[in-house]
């Protein structure tokens, strides 16, 4: 993916050099300074992310610290990251620099730009590590931050996703640039442009070299101290009180009186897994990507159209079934032999996974669909019809998922992040389930569409509300039939499954 972008960057650098050579306007040096400030922010941001997520948690860290000092460990980690970044950025950067120098007709540009790129890496990566170490040190010493860690990461992930979808990078980078512009970080541009004759300051260029040297020394001492505080800290531990009564399901109140104990046990396990390792359910967020576009459109326009409730209905139904029921056999993991030896495992697994997803997502889907429907141009009877569709489809979508997941199970753990593995549904299972859910919900979506539904009502002379009711009935009947067939397949696969 990076190769074509890199080639385009080198070609663009050549034309940029030609543009600079033929331009003597004052704002040019400001553009160069701004570009290098943004580049430094990029190195700090992604370097800090890699440090937090991967680099600061090397394998067998405790064993390493018993044989070498923390200074050697953090030094080796930072140098490794510098080599990894240099292998790409300096290679492509050198090619782009040569192309730029040829276009600008300035040979002096090659060594000074190369030096500037080296200094950007030498100051930006340690800064990212310092920020990551600061966050980790705060986490191991604060009980509140430890408890809110997953919530914080979830909010960061949602924010990152929204920035990408809304293309709001400027609103994030501009405040950072205003903060860094008065600092020596802004001098990178002067050093890179010293041979171009565009108004770069020689004093700032020399000052950038001196600042980088002083900053690197200070960063080394900071990395040593922060890594020592982190790796030798006792740290706080979040403990969870557990009710160890014989009948744990009694804590679930009404559910313990409605569901059988085996089914309730599956529900409890599903919810505990979701609470303790929510990242293992990250695959279920793919439907949110589909929903992001209509949400952003609604926020930007300030009004809710007729399409948003339909997207919410479809996405909620999609997630409800995929959350727990799309890998009824594989997600048991090491407990699968014990599960298969229990009494009627097929009923407990199939029904339990359906209930656990439906109870969590069906209420949310119904409320969100009805609320946006009321605020949209849809009439109240149409909103009621949508609410019925949302309730039925999201409640039984798990049943649709069970058979598909049983046909395409996945038993091995896969990487769900750079440092975590989990057993998630197979790609074939997820794709097949997604297609079936879309097909099942299609009559409701078409019948309630402000464009297609209205066109059908005008063509047939039937009230659009009746068209919506007809779409709901078709979707519900179709969903029930598919669910019964899928559940039969899932139960048959579970009961006949043998461990070889």
What integer pLDDT is reported at residue 207 of this predicted model? 92
Whether the predicted pLDDT of 162 surpasses 70:
no
- Total domains in the chain come to 2
Q: Which domain holds residue 124?
A: 2-231
Is 374 a domain residue? yes
**Burial category of 386 from C-beta neighbours within 10 Å (exposed 0-12, middle 13-18, buried 19 and up):** buried
Same domain, 214 and 300: no
Residue 487 to residue 354: CA distance in whole angstroms: 10
Express each pLDDT in 98-154 by its tens digit: 887 787 777 777 888 889 889 999 999 999 999 999 988 888 777 777 667 767 777
Residue 237 has pLDDT above 70, yes or no: no
Residues 67 and 124 in one domain: yes
pLDDT, greater one: 154 or 396: 396
Domain end point (choices 164, 199, 231)? 231
Shared domain for 100 and 52, answered yes or no, is yes
> Do both 207 and 266 map to the same domain?
no
pLDDT category, 498, cuts 50, 70, 90? low
Tell me the residue length of the chain. Answer: 500
The whole-number pLDDT of residue 244 equals 44
Residue 416 in this model has a pLDDT that exceeds 70: no
pTM: 0.62
Q: Are residues 343 and 425 in the same domain?
A: yes
| Position 236 in a domain | no
Least confident of 420-429, 436-445, 471-480: 420-429
Average pLDDT over residues 431-453: 88
**Are both 269 and 150 inside the same structural domain?**
no
Same domain, 113 and 262: no
How high is the pLDDT of residue 325? 85
In a domain, residue 241? The reply is no
Is residue 365 very low, low, confident or very high in pLDDT (cuts 50, 70, 90)? very high
Of 231, 261, 296, the residue that ends a domain is 231
Give the whole-number percent of the chain exceeding pLDDT 70.
85
Q: What mean pLDDT comes out for the span 49-61?
A: 84
Q: Do 207 and 254 lie in a common domain?
A: no
pLDDT at 345: 66
Q: What would the mean pLDDT of 370-389 be, rounded to a whole number? A: 89
* Residues 13 and 155 both lie in one domain: yes
At 80-103, the pLDDT tens digits run: 999 988 888 888 888 888 887 787
Same domain, 208 and 326: no
């Amino acid at each position: 993916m990076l190769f074509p972008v890199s080639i385009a960057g080198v070609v663009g650098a050549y034309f940029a050099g030609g543009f600079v050579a033929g331009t003597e306007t004052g704002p040019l040096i400001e553009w160069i300074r701004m570009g290098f400030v943004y580049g430094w922010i990029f190195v700090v941001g992604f370097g800090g992310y890699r440090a937090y997520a991967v680099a600061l948690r090397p394998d067998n860290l405790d064993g390493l610290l018993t044989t070498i000092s923390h200074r050697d460990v953090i030094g080796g980690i930072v140098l490794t990251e510098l080599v990894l970044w240099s292998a790409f950025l300096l290679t492509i950067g050198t090619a782009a620099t040569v192309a730029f120098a040829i276009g600008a007709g300035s040979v002096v540009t090659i060594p000074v730009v190369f030096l500037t790129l080296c200094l950007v890496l030498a100051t930006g990566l340690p800064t990212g590590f310092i920020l990551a170490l600061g966050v980790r040190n705060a986490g191991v010493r604060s009980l509140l931050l430890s408890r809110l860690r997953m919530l914080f990461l979830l909010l960061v992930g949602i924010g990152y996703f929204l920035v990408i979808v809304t293309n709001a990078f400027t609103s994030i980078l501009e405040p950072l640039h205003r903060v860094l512009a008065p600092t020596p970080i802004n001098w990178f541009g002067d050093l890179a442009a010293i041979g171009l004759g565009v108004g770069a300051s020689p004093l700032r260029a020399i000052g950038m070299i001196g600042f980088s040297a002083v900053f690197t020394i200070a960063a080394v001492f900071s990395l040593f101290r922060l890594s020592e505080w982190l790796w030798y800290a006792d740290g706080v531990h979040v403990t969870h009180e557990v009710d160890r009564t014989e009948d744990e399901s009694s804590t679930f109140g009404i559910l313990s009186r409605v569901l059988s104990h085996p089914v309730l046990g599956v529900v409890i396990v599903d919810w505990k897994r979701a609470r303790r390792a929510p990242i293992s359910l990250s695959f279920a967020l793919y439907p949110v990507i589909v929903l992001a576009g209509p949400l952003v459109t609604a926020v930007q326009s300030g009004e809710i159209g007729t399409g948003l409730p339909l997207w919410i209905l479809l996405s909620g139904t999609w997630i409800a079934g995929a959350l727990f029921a799309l890998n009824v056999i594989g997600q048991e993991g090491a407990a699968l032999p014990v599960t298969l030896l229990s009494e009627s495992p097929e009923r407990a697994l199939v029904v339990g996974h359906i209930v656990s997803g439906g109870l969590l997502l069906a209420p949310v889907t119904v409320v969100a669909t009805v609320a946006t429907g009321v605020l949209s141009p849809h009439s109240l009877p149409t909103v009621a019809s949508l609410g019925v569709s949302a309730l039925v489809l999201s409640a039984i979508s798990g049943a649709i998922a069970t058979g598909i997941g049983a046909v395409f199970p996945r038993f091995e753990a896969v990487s769900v992040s750079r440092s975590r593995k989990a057993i998630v549904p197979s790609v074939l299972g997820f794709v097949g389930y997604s297609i079936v859910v879309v097909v099942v919900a299609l009559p409701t979506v078409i019948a309630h569409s402000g464009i297609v539904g209205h066109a059908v009502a005008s063509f047939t002379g039937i009230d659009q509300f009746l068209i919506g009711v007809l779409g709901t009935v078709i979707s519900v009947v179709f969903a029930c039939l598919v669910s019964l067939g899928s559940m039969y397949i899932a139960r048959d696969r579970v009961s006949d499954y043998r461990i070889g």
